[in-house]
């Protein structure tokens, strides 16, 4: 059995797209199980860059089955845009499958996301993610399979929901509402385009695993953005942690053999919320500039800080992590010393476990150890033993603190800038 769940170990943007693409060469199937077009996964091959939001990062391999499963909230217009853009670049997209059970992100979700974020100040991506998940839980969502039902039934459903949403948009926010007929027409046109891709994806994934195929679940966002286990309320509305793969793809926990945590060699976060190791100084600016830390989806500058192993140990626990991939090690080239947060100081005590409460986290001061940096350019290095001794010590320290073995180390954005320490798929 070779089903591996790949997750973000921090606040997203760890390089999940790059690692997924790297592993997709050997994977038979890559599955997105949560999130939506809030995700921005970058894949670089030779001189080409691909920014994927909904389509799995395995799509560049024509023989890899790529699945958008039921747990993803789907902006059908965005899927079509991504498909068209990939096709225009010569990418074969016939291996994409989209769950019939996936909830649809409707135009009013995006509008409400924008309006609500002005009050909540979470700094969402405004892609309608929170409102679409809220409607799913509230049982007033529209699923893709609903759009294939009899026209009059769907019309009645959409009319009722749009009228309700208009009461919120017009009544509370005094903004213009939606014409349900236009919403309906758009949805029908989009589902018609996507018809060839629609499938019972839980069945496809189950069969693939049963046949011994190599299945990779591509998490979006990251552990600290998880609705239950992240820095609530500054989180997304889904379950990016590994457990989310079961519900979000319709498979059982017994089907998963490994959990690969992707961790950036330092820490970043987009949007609001506490961030203990954040650097609001030239060092933070330097990391942002060297790491090109600007959001793939929104273009916002990412907040940057030192590596936080309290977070990585927490991510190890809540994901049941078996392996780790460290990315962007090359961004740390040229620093005299590097700091690693090993604990938090809170009201005079040292905390080694990530706090449950946001109030506590906000008062935590990181406790650092210092490691010597390296001056060499490591971006062309292919083997672990060729890395500078201090870079190897930095990696070893992370392994020692987390207790999780590292199987991959990325030293650049491109596919071939990846050092393999152990194979995920043999």
38 binds, among Mg ion, ligand GDP, ligand IMO, none (CB under 5 to 8 A by kind): ligand IMO
Residue 216 touches ligand GDP, criterion: CB under 6 A: no
Least separation in angstroms between residue 345's CB and ligand GDP is: 30
13 in catalytic set: yes
322 Cβ contact partners less than 8 Å away, ≥ 6 residues apart: 258, 259, 260, 404, 405
Q: Report yes or no: 178 and 108 within 8 Å, Cβ to Cβ.
A: yes
Residue among 4, 9, 10, 38 that touches ligand IMO (CB under 6 A): 38
Residue 19 touches ligand IMO, criterion: CB under 6 A: no
Distance between CA 241 and CA 316 in Å, rounded? 10
18 binds, among ligand IMO, ligand GDP, Mg ion, none (CB under 5 to 8 A by kind): ligand GDP
Distance between CA 355 and CA 4 in Å, rounded? 28
Q: Report yes or no: 211 and 198 within 8 Å, Cβ to Cβ.
A: no
Helix (H, G, I), strand (E, B) or coil at 14: coil
Residue among 93, 255, 289, 296 that touches Mg ion (CB under 5 A): 296
Binding residues for ligand GDP restricted to 41-70, rule: CB under 6 A: 41-42, 44
Q: Report yes or no: 1 and 208 within 8 Å, Cβ to Cβ.
A: no
Tell me: cis bond preceding 233? Omega within 30 of 0 counts: yes
String marking each residue 280-319 x if it binds ligand GDP according to CB under 6 A? ------------x---x-----------------------
Distance between CA 222 and CA 149 in Å, rounded? 35
Q: Side-chain half-sphere of 4: how many Cα atoms within 13 Å?
A: 28
41 in catalytic set: yes
Least separation in angstroms between residue 11's CB and Mg ion is: 10
Helix (H, G, I), strand (E, B) or coil at 153: helix
Nearer to ligand GDP (CB atom), residue 49 or residue 257: 49
Nearer to ligand IMO (CB atom), residue 75 or residue 323: 75
Residue 411 touches ligand GDP, criterion: CB under 6 A: yes
Binding residues for ligand IMO restricted to 284-343, rule: CB under 6 A: 296
Distance between CA 340 and CA 391 in Å, rounded? 13
DSSP label at 74? B
DSSP label at 316? H
Written as one string, the DSSP assignment of 368-409 is EEEEE---S--TT--SGGGS-HHHHHHHHHHHHHH--EEEEE
Binding window for ligand GDP (CB under 6 A); candidates: 37-45, 202-210, 307-315, 365-373: 37-45
Tell me: cis bond preceding 399? Omega within 30 of 0 counts: no
Residue 43 touches ligand IMO, criterion: CB under 6 A: no
Q: For residue 92, give Cα distances in angstroms to 23, 56, 68.
A: 18, 13, 16
Distance between CA 295 and CA 205 in Å, rounded? 31
Least separation in angstroms between residue 338's CB and ligand IMO is: 23
Residue 161 touches ligand GDP, criterion: CB under 6 A: no
Q: Give the residue from 300, 417, 274, 305 showing the smallest Cα distance to 368.
A: 305
Residue in the block written with tokens 């609500």: 116
Helix (H, G, I), strand (E, B) or coil at 24: helix
Nearer to Mg ion (CB atom), residue 141 or residue 240: 240
Least separation in angstroms between residue 48's CB and ligand GDP is: 12
Selected catalytic residue, list 21, 28, 41, 308 = 41
String marking each residue 106-135 x if it binds ligand IMO according to CB under 6 A? ----------------xxxx-x-xx-----
Residue 14 touches ligand GDP, criterion: CB under 6 A: yes
Least separation in angstroms between residue 411's CB and Mg ion is: 19
Residue 331 touches ligand GDP, criterion: CB under 6 A: yes
Residue among 327, 390, 402, 406 that touches ligand GDP (CB under 6 A): 327
Question: Which active-site residues does the annotation give?
Answer: 13, 41
Residues in contact with ligand IMO by CB under 6 A are 8, 11-13, 38-41, 122-125, 127, 129-130, 220-222, 225, 234, 236-237, 270-271, 296
Residues in contact with ligand GDP by CB under 6 A are 8, 12-18, 40-42, 44, 292, 296, 327-328, 330-331, 410-413
Residues in contact with Mg ion by CB under 5 A are 13, 40, 296
């Amino acid at each position: 059995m070779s089903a591996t769940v790949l997750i973000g170990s921090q606040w997203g943007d760890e390089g999940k797209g790059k690692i997924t693409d790297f592993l997709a060469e050997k994977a038979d199937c890559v599955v997105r199980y949560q999130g939506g077009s809030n995700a921005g996964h970058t894949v670089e091959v030779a001189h080409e860059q691909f920014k994927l939001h909904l389509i799995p990062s395995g799509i560049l391999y024509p023989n890899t089955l790529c699945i958008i499963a039921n747990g993803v909230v789907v902006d059908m217009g965005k899927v079509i845009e991504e498909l068209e853009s990939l096709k225009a670049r010569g990418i074969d997209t016939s291996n994409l499958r989209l769950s019939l059970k996936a909830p649809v992100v409707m135009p009013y979700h995006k509008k409400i996301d924008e309006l609500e974020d002005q009050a909540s100040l979470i700094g969402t991506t405004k892609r309608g993610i929170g409102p679409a998940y809220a409607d799913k839980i509230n049982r007033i969502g529209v699923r893709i399979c609903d759009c294939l039902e009899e026209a009059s039934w769907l019309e009645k459903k959409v009319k009722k929901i749009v009228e309700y949403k208009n009461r919120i948009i017009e009544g509370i926010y005094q903004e213009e509402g939606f014409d349900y007929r236009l919403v309906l027409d758009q949805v029908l046109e989009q589902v018609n385009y996507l018809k060839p891709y629609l499938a019972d994806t839980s069945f496809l994934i189950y069969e693939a695993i049963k046949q011994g195929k190599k299945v990779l679940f591509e998490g979006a966002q990251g552990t600290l953005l998880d609705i239950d286990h992240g820095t609530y309320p500054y989180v997304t509305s889904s379950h990016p942690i590994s457990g989310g793969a079961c519900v979000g793809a319709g498979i059982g926990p017994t089907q998963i053999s490994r959990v690969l945590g992707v961790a950036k060699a330092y820490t970043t976060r987009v949007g609001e919320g506490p961030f203990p190791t954040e650097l609001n100084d030239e060092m933070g600016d330097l990391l942002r500039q060297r790491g090109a830390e600007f959001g793939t989806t929104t273009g916002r500058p990412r907040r940057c800080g030192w590596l936080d192993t309290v977070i990585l140990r927490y991510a190890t626990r809540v994901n049941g992590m078996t392996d780790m991939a460290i990315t962007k090690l090359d961004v740390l080239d040229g620093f005299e010393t590097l700091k690693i947060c090993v604990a938090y100081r809170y009201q005079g005590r040292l905390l080694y476990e990530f706090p449950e409460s946001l109030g506590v986290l906000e008062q935590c001061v990181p406790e650092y150890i210092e490691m010597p940096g390296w001056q060499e350019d490591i971006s062309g290095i292919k083997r672990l033993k060729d890395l500078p001794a201090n870079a190897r010590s930095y990696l070893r320290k992370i392994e020692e603190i987390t207790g999780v073995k590292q199987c991959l180390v990325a030293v650049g954005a491109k596919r071939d800038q990846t050092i393999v320490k152990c194979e995920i798929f043999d």
